[in-house]
A and B are shown apart, each in its own frame.
Chain A
Amino acid sequence: MRDLCTLMGYEWKKLLLRKGNVIVLVISLALVCFVQFSLLLPGFTPHENMWEQMREVRAYERARAGNEITALHEYHANFAETLAFQLERGRVSQRGGDWVTQQHEAVPTPWIFYPTAGFGNFFSRSAFMTLVIFTAVAVSIAPLFPNEYRTGVAALQLASKYGKSKLVTAKLLTAATFGLMVALFLTLSALGTSLAVFGADGARAMLQLYEPLSIYNLTVVQGAVILFANIAARILFFSAGVVLLSAKLRSAFSTIIIAFVWIFMAGMIFIPVAIPWIFTFSRLVIAVTPDMVSPVRSTFSIVPYEIFGVFVPPFIFEGVFSLVGGIGLLCCAGWVFKRAQVG
């Protein structure tokens, strides 16, 4: 075990001491923090005095914190319309519809108003943040295995004492933990910046104040934690995939091509899906990419997954799917590298 930790330490060092990786991480950090408040700055928006306006709105909202919101007709109408649309498309079965309605009715009314700008802003920028996290992770870990081949060290490593066992495990665990740490680090920085700029109040507010169509009885803090867990699971799947590719292709260049296709193209190919199983399939594909539209919308979607008659909310099913898939891919990558014939 101690050997494994030492080996992982070396791999982490290799990752963190590379100048390129440090630059990528610093730029990513600057980007995700900056976009949280960029729209308040002159030059980034056509409107003037956004910063002062934000403060005025915040003061106005704070004065009304704790008020009840009783006029929810439009909300109920919107919910009914959305559910009817999904039922008509066949994306939710009749029993699924009952489940959704039941969840919807379990959301306590009347709603209590709290200012949620800090969390709301974090949620709105989450698509961009996920994209940055994915890109940073891909760029950093793509050379992990190929560099051993390129520098000719792979032949030595595979013949050495721990080369086919502990070293491979150490590399895989490094890739996975690096992905998770980058995700955690960037998410926390983004959330921290957003709360610092827009105000940290509203932790008790319900998620519906940001995403009115959500049917789950969660607070915004729980929402943020669940969103992070989902992004972490996505990143685990993605970094495992990148490591598998790099072990298979033995070239950082080829790996990064496929990783970019994975990141960018999945969000660009729009399929107006009318067949339920293709819809489920494309949802699961989107669940392992940075969702370009809105990770919040897909994570807290009202359409549940139905497995053997049990209805599972997307934030649980997609998280578990990416987690299990990611671990599977990691095992595959280890197996590929162990079987690699050099020369």
Chain B
Amino acid sequence: MLTLMGYEWKKIFMQKRVIAVFAVIFILICIGQVGDLIQPLSPIPDAVQTMRNNREHARALTGRELDGDFLYEIFRETEGQNFWLSPYRNIWHIIRFMGEVESPEEAVAFYTNRDNRFAMLPEDEFLMNRVSEGGARWIMQKNEQLPAPWVFAYTGGFDIFLNRANTVAIFLFFVIAICIASLFAAEHQTGVAPIMLAAKYGKSKLIWAKIFTAAGISLGLSLLFTLSTLAISLLAFGADGGWAMLQLRIPFAVYSLTLSQAAWILIINVCLRAFYLGALVALFSALTRSAFVSLILATVYMAPATLYLSLPFNEIRWVFNLNRLIIDFIPHPTEHAVSTFSFFPYEIFGLFIPPFIFEPIFSLVVGAGLLCCAGWVFKRAQVG
């Protein structure tokens, strides 16, 4: 079995084009993670030194409560300034989380505004289409459990990672689609399939080897991509702030998580979604018997999420939930409505499950099912 899997891995990774695309995209992602610091790409002169100065400034303030005085200070110091130069860059978006803030009073009223937003939830027709009465109560209850006031911390490394996670995921899914598109199709295209299906292990172990290869590739590549981008972000911008609340990055989140917990949850989410996508591509590959067509189908499937196209009938609750489960599958950590840390729970038999728990489980189960389907389709293929 392991020998067979080894062959499959070799078949995929000995292809020059796969290596080339993989290398280029991996380097692009890594550069993208520190792009703000590289001189011709950065909008500000002397970016590294500025980042260091700002980091020192923010570190000195770490541990301070984010109360009215502090919010006032942040507003005053960032007002009319170049956003990129501000030492509060990582937290600046908090005070303007609901739009432009024009006066210090608005900035200081941050907690009140935020709580009002949640209190108004049952009256908001647009949002209430997406959640039941009970769900809205659950959201408000979760929100009330959050400690206040929040505590400020320098969180540059985690911020960059959470911010870029969806870009990383898009590139990653594309690489996985390229790798897996030829898994079953290549056997049909090269004419090996009839021989394979007649061989000793052809209808049993070989198919399992292929299934495990697809799973291994999607999980392995996604771990490699996400862990290296996390490592690069933390190395370049500083690894401190892991204990800080998730809300410093995503003000609308209602879950009581720290930033490092959030980073790990996001990594697991990306990996399992990659697994689901890999399984889907394997099924395309077995069904269409052409790597070319499989890749086109995979790209078309990913297009709405990549281009942020809004899908129809999204105001109907079950369509909305289905969309974010299978089509809007790029984990966006800063988008409030559709994302891994969205406050809209999934409701199953009266139980409310946050998306960051439900979505990975769904991807795992459905992905495994799709992989078995792909194997079954290949096994039953009539050749000639």
A residues adjacent to B (C-beta < 8 A)? 20, 38, 41, 43-44, 46, 131, 139, 142-143, 249, 251-254, 256-257, 260-261, 264, 268-269, 271-272, 274-275, 278, 292
Contacts and interface: CB of A to CB of B under 8 A. Distances in A.
Given A44-B312, A44-B313, A257-B178, 5 more contacts: A20-B293, A257-B17, A268-B170, A269-B28, A274-B43
A143 B41 CA distance: 37
B126 A46 contact: yes
B373 to A, nearest CB: 23
B41 A257 contact: no
A253 B292 contact: yes
A256 B291 CA distance: 10
B33 interface: no
Given A253-B295, A257-B17, A257-B21, A272 B43 contact: yes
Contacts of A274: 40, 42-43
B21 to A, nearest CB: 6
A340 B32 CA distance: 38
Nearest to A255: B292
25 contacts: A20-B293, A43-B313, A44-B313, A131-B307, A139-B296, A249-B17, A253-B291, A256-B295, A256-B296, A257-B17, A257-B21, A260-B295, A261-B21, A264-B174, A264-B299, A268-B170, A268-B306, A269-B28, A271-B41, A272-B41, A272-B42, A272-B43, A274-B42, A274-B43, A275-B40
Contacts of B312: 38, 41, 43-44
B192 to A, nearest CB: 15
B126 to A, nearest CB: 6
A256 B21 CA distance: 12
B17 A254 contact: yes
Of the candidates A43, A131, A249, the one having the most CB atoms from chain B within 10 angstroms of its own CB is A43
B181 interface: yes
B182 interface: yes
Interface of B: 17, 21, 28, 32, 40-43, 126, 167, 170, 174, 178, 181-182, 291-293, 295-296, 299, 306-307, 312-313, 315-316
Contacts, number: 54
A190 B126 CA distance: 31
A119 to B, nearest CB: 23
A302 B295 CA distance: 39
Nearest to B291: A253
Contacts of B21: 257, 261
A29 to B, nearest CB: 15
Contacts of A272: 41-43
A264 B306 contact: yes
A253 B43 contact: no
Contact of B182 (A46, A131, A142, A253): A253
B296 to A, nearest CB: 6
A260 B170 contact: no
Given A46-B126, A46-B315, A257-B178, A142 B292 contact: yes
B167 A268 contact: yes
A-B pairs, 9 with minimum CB distance? A272-B43, A43-B313, A44-B312, A253-B291, A252-B292, A254-B17, A253-B292, A43-B312, A260-B299
B40 A278 contact: yes
A292 B308 CA distance: 11
Nearest to A20: B293
Contacts of A43: 312-313, 315-316
Contacts of A142: 292
Contacts of A38: 312
Nearest to A249: B17
Contacts of A252: 292
Contacts of B293: 20
Contacts of B178: 257
Contacts of B296: 139, 256
A253 B167 contact: no
A273 to B, nearest CB: 8
A143 B126 contact: no
A9 B290 CA distance: 27
A268 B315 CA distance: 28
Contacts of B170: 268
Contacts of B315: 43, 46
A143 B189 CA distance: 14
Contacts of B32: 269
A317 to B, nearest CB: 24
Contacts of A20: 293
Nearest to B129: A46
A325 to B, nearest CB: 22
A126 B295 CA distance: 25
B43 A143 contact: no
A46 B167 CA distance: 28
Contact of A257 (B295, B306, B313): B295
A253 B181 contact: yes
Of the candidates B17, B28, B306, the one having the most CB atoms from chain A within 10 angstroms of its own CB is B17
A285 B307 CA distance: 19
Contacts of A131: 307
Nearest to A35: B309
B353 to A, nearest CB: 26
A139 B300 CA distance: 11
Nearest to B311: A44
A131 B43 CA distance: 29
A215 B76 CA distance: 38
A275 B38 CA distance: 13
A256 B298 CA distance: 12
A257 B181 CA distance: 11
A316 to B, nearest CB: 29
A254 B32 CA distance: 25
A252 B17 CA distance: 12
A282 to B, nearest CB: 11
B98 to A, nearest CB: 19
B22 to A, nearest CB: 11
A269 to B, nearest CB: 8
B43 to A, nearest CB: 4
Contacts of A264: 174, 299, 306
A149 B346 CA distance: 51
A183 B381 CA distance: 38
Contacts of B167: 268
B115 to A, nearest CB: 25
B351 to A, nearest CB: 28
A284 to B, nearest CB: 17
A292 B126 CA distance: 28
Nearest to B16: A254
